């Protein structure tokens, strides 16, 4: 019995000892796409300032924003990384939980690329090709039919004779939304199928329903899983982030989209169509409470890091041309 009392005493002591003094480490969570950038910044921040290195968790944009909106106080995270803008519904949840002062920081852009095994055929895609190859139902002669294509050259004679097999990000990824919106639905619109789908199905979003016969494979893991799937199935074409591709150029070859080769330059100029902004959200109510929070945000968007010659661009981030405005907005926050 003595031991039991002793252990419970230890447990109580451990529990009560917490939450006494303010935490001194910035806590970050969110998108796995933003994670590498956030860790690079956190590492440099810890090295170059007297503040401790922030703790960065991943888990996805939605999960991060959910945690972010749990409330105000040192038990909640300070920064949420996101590969998409915050939704109105999420802002609502934040508000009801008392998180009223949110600073949105857009720090750059990320390209989404289509890549296949380096030894295989080269591809030059257009969004229409992807719509025709991937959609569950396509429009032929004004009628909606189940997708009949099995080879890329059936979709578009200019493409190589290769079986259709694509590894696309699963629905929990922010990348999936961009893929559907900027590729599949865009292709649906340019082929003129969107109007017919809208008339028949009530919403042009029905264009983005992907085929379920095993030719469009959802990858719920990360890009390393997509890469492994391509290595085991050389006919597969994978959807990757630009930075991931740039770290694996010895294994993958990238396809052009609408005739444009994806690179940080073409994404920045807007010529390459499939890209998305990257964000992080700062809980302004924590500025001044959690030491180093504002400094971290300022450090993140500084020219030295997020600028075109900084380490983030070297890793594959497309620098934001309007970075100066962002810097001013961050500098003004919490005052």
Partner 1 sequence: MNTPRKGSLLVQDARTKRRNAAEARFKAYGLTAIAVGVLALIVLVTSILGNGLSAFRQTEIMLTVELPESKLDKSGTRDLDVMKKVTTLTYGPILAKGLKDVIAANGIEIEGLTAKDVDAMISKEASAQLRDRVLADPSLVGQTVEITVLASGRIDGYYKGRVSLASAELDSNVTPAQLRLADALKDKGILVTKLNPAFITAPDASDQRPEAAGLGVAILGSAYMMIVVLVLALPIGVAASIYLEEFAPKNRWTDLIEVNISNLAAVPSIVFGILGLAIFINFGGLRASAPIVGGLVLTLMTLPTIIISTRAALKSVPPSIRDAALGVGASKMQAVFHHVLPLAAPGILTGAIIGLAQALGETAPLLLIGMVAFVREYPAAYSAADGLFGEPSTALPVQVFNWTQRADPAFFERASGAIIVLLVFLLIMNAVAIILRRRFERRW
Q: Which stretch binds partner 1 (CB under 8 A): 1-9, 101-109, 136-144, 186-194?
A: 1-9
- Residue 97 in the binding site for partner 1 (CB under 8 A): no
Q: How far is CA 36 from the centre of its chain?
A: 11
Least CB distance to partner 1 at residue 225 (A): 9
- Residue 331 in the binding site for partner 1 (CB under 8 A): no
Residue with tokens 């028949």: 200
- Residue 243 in the binding site for partner 1 (CB under 8 A): yes
Q: Give CA–CA dist 108/184, Å, rounded.
A: 24
What DSSP assignment string belongs to 214-266?
SSEEEE-S-HHHHHHHHHH-TT-EEEEEHHHHHH-TTTEEEPEETTB---HHH
- Residue 35 neighbours by CB under 8 Å, 6+ apart: 56, 58, 81
Which stretches of 76-222 are DSSP H helices?
Answer: 88-96, 127-134, 152-155, 174-179, 186-190, 193-201
Q: Classify burial at 242, counting beta carbons within 10 Å of its beta carbon; exposed 0-12, middle 13-18, buried 19 or more.
A: buried
Least CB distance to partner 1 at residue 43 (A): 4
- CA neighbor of 280 nearest in space, from 85, 69, 25, 66: 85
Please select the residue that binds partner 1; options are 30, 31, 32, 266, rule is CB under 8 A: 32
CA neighbours closer than 13 Å in the CB half-sphere of residue 164: 27
Least CB distance to partner 1 at residue 207 (A): 31
- Residue 200 in the binding site for partner 1 (CB under 8 A): no
CB distance 175 to 278 below 8 Å: no
- Residue 11 in the binding site for partner 1 (CB under 8 A): yes
Least CB distance to partner 1 at residue 57 (A): 4
- CA neighbor of 315 nearest in space, from 255, 264, 239: 264
- Residue 119 in the binding site for partner 1 (CB under 8 A): no
Residue placing its CB nearer to partner 1 in the complex, 129 or 246? 246
Q: Which stretch binds partner 1 (CB under 8 A): 79-87, 90-98, 131-139, 221-229?
A: 221-229
Size of the site for partner 1 (CB under 8 A): 59
- Residue 266 in the binding site for partner 1 (CB under 8 A): no
Q: Residues 42 to 81: which contact partner 1 by CB under 8 A? A: 42-44, 46-48, 50, 52-53, 55-59, 75
Least CB distance to partner 1 at residue 306 (A): 13
For residue 207 the two structure tokens come to 């264009």
Q: Give CA–CA dist 217/168, Å, rounded.
A: 6
- Residue 96 in the binding site for partner 1 (CB under 8 A): no
Please select the residue that binds partner 1; options are 24, 200, 213, 220, rule is CB under 8 A: 24
Q: Give CA–CA dist 61/80, Å, rounded.
A: 8
- Residue 250 in the binding site for partner 1 (CB under 8 A): yes
The answer to whether the Cα torsion of 231, 232, 233, 237 is positive or negative is negative
Q: Which stretch binds partner 1 (CB under 8 A): 8-16, 101-109, 160-168, 268-276?
A: 8-16
Residue placing its CB nearer to partner 1 in the complex, 1 or 322? 1
For residue 329 the two structure tokens come to 């907005």
- Footprint on this chain of partner 1 (rule: CB under 8 A): 1, 3-4, 6-7, 10-11, 13-25, 27, 29, 32, 35-36, 38-40, 42-44, 46-48, 50, 52-53, 55-59, 75, 118, 221-224, 243-244, 246-250, 304, 311, 314-315
């Amino acid at each position: 019995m003595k031991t039991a009392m002793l252990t419970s005493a230890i447990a109580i002591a451990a529990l009560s000892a917490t939450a006494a003094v303010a935490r001194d480490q910035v806590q970050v969570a969110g998108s796995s796409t933003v994670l590498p950038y956030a860790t690079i910044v956190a590492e440099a921040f810890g090295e170059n300032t007297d503040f401790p290195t922030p703790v960065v968790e991943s888990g996805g944009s939605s999960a991060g924003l959910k945690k972010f909106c749990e409330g105000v106080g040192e038990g909640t995270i300070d920064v949420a990384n996101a590969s998409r803008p915050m939704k109105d519904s999420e802002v609502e949840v934040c508000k009801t939980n008392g998180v009223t002062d949110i600073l949105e920081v857009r720090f750059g852009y990320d390209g989404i690329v289509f890549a296949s095994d380096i030894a295989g055929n080269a591809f030059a895609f257009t969004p229409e090709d992807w719509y025709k190859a991937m959609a569950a139902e396509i429009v032929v002669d004004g009628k909606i039919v189940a997708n009949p294509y099995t080879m890329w050259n059936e979709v578009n004679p200019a493409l190589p004779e290769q079986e259709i097999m694509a590894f696309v990000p699963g629905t929990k990824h922010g990348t999936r939304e961009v893929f559907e919106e900027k590729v599949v639905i865009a292709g649906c619109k340019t082929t003129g199928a969107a109007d017919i789908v809208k008339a028949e199905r009530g919403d042009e979003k029905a264009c983005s329903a992907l085929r379920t016969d095993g030719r469009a494979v959802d990858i719920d893991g990360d890009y390393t899983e997509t890469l492994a799937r391509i290595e085991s199935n050389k006919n597969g074409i994978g959807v990757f982030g630009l930075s991931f591709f740039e770290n694996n150029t010895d294994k993958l070859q990238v396809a052009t989209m609408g005739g444009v080769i994806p690179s940080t330059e073409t994404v920045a100029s807007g010529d390459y169509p499939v890209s998305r902004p990257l964000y992080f959200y700062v809980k302004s109510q924590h500025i001044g409470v959690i030491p180093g929070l504002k400094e971290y945000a300022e450090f993140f968007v500084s020219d030295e890091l997020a600028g075109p010659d900084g380490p983030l661009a070297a890793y594959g981030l497309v620098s934001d041309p309007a970075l100066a405005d962002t810097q001013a907005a961050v500098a003004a926050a919490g005052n």
